[in-house]
Amino acid sequence: MHKTIKLAEAVEQIPDGARIMIGGFMGVGTAPRLIDETVRQNKKNLTIIANDTARPGVGIGKLIDAKLVRAIIVSHIGTNPETQRQLLAGEIEAELSPQGTLIERIRAGGYGLGGILTSTGLGTIVEDGKPTIDLDGQRFLVERPLKADFAFVYAKQADYLGNLAYALTARNFNPLLAMAATVVIAEAQNIVPVGVIPPDAVMTPAVLVNHLISMERRNG
């Protein structure tokens, strides 16, 4: 079973206008080679679902710099002045979602749920245009699930089958995205033989991973 794929081939299958979920928090846990290759292949009109757009020149910020993004669904853009500039200039559309709501919407998408009920955002502009529900005397905002065509997942380790383990705070959105996209492309810092990641330490089972980016030979 061949799960590995060359970086360029993995990105070639992404059409312009695709909807891509990308892991990472300020670039930490964002697949660096997948981002660079997406820029190199000049994929356009992308919709990006992620926590943030990092900073210019960093992580998802590189896609913003290259003007490849038409729309973002994120919780935060305050650290990226270029995203703000493109937003205020009308070059990019943004849906801002509270971070805890955003991750649960992705989870709902991946776990087959019809949406989530949360009190976060009630009585604020986040509520505008959304249904609310009264349940057992408590009011909730109904937030819709999120899915995507592709997910860029970044792991610390992958085994030959595509089982994944993440490192420290670089885990963040990654394991949730791996559930919520039609095609999951994983990039790992290291690829190890099957068994090196024990079953209890696998955070994303290989069955969820469609492609594992092959390593480039680095030692001559």
Partner 1 sequence: MDEKTLIAKRVALELKDGTLVNLGIGLPTQVAAYVPKHIQVFFQSENGIVGMLSLPEEGLEDEDLTDAGGRPIGALPGAATFDSAMSFGLIRGGHLDLTVLGGLQVDQMGRLANWMVPGKIVPGMGGAMDLVSGAKRVIVAMTHTVKGEAKIVKHCALPLTSSRPVSLIVTELAVIAPTEAGLELRERAPGVSVETIVKATEAELIVPENVPEMPVS
Q: Which residues bind partner 1 (CB under 8 A)?
A: 25-29, 51-52, 54-55, 74-79, 84, 87-88, 94, 96, 98-101, 103-104, 107, 118-126, 156, 166-176, 203
Is the alpha carbon torsion for 132, 137, 138, 144 positive or negative? negative
Q: How far is the CB of 41 from partner 1 (least distance, A)?
A: 25
Q: How far is the CB of 13 from partner 1 (least distance, A)?
A: 27
Q: Quick one: 16 or 127, whose CB is closer to partner 1?
A: 127
Residue 160, classified by CB atoms within 10 Å of its CB into exposed (0-12), middle (13-18) or buried (19+), is middle
> Cβ neighbours of residue 13 under 8 Å, at least 6 residues apart?
183
Per DSSP, the three-state class of 28 is strand
Q: Is the CB of residue 92 less than 8 Å from the CB of residue 80? A: no
**Least Å distance between CB 126 and partner 1?**
7
CB of 173 to partner 1, least distance (A): 5
Question: Regarding beta strands 4-5 and 211-213, do their DSSP bridges make them parallel or antiparallel, or are they unpaired?
Answer: parallel
The residue (of 11 and 179) whose beta carbon lies closer to partner 1 is 179
For partner 1, give the closer residue by CB, 5 or 73.
73
The smaller minimum CB distance to partner 1, of residues 94 and 183, is found at 94
CA–CA separation, 89 and 50 (whole Å): 21
Q: How far, in Å, CA of 143 to CA of 73, rounded? A: 13
Kindly tell me which of 41 and 99 has the beta carbon lying closer to partner 1.
Answer: 99
* Whether 177 contacts 153, CB under 8 Å: yes
- Using the minimum distance from each CB to partner 1, give the nearer residue, 110 or 162: 110
CB of 49 to partner 1, least distance (A): 13
* Residues whose CB is less than 8 angstroms from the CB of residue 3 and which lie 6 or more positions away in sequence, other chains included: 160, 161, 162, 206, 209, 210, 211, 212
The least distance separating partner 1 from the CB of residue 85, rounded to whole angstroms, comes to 11
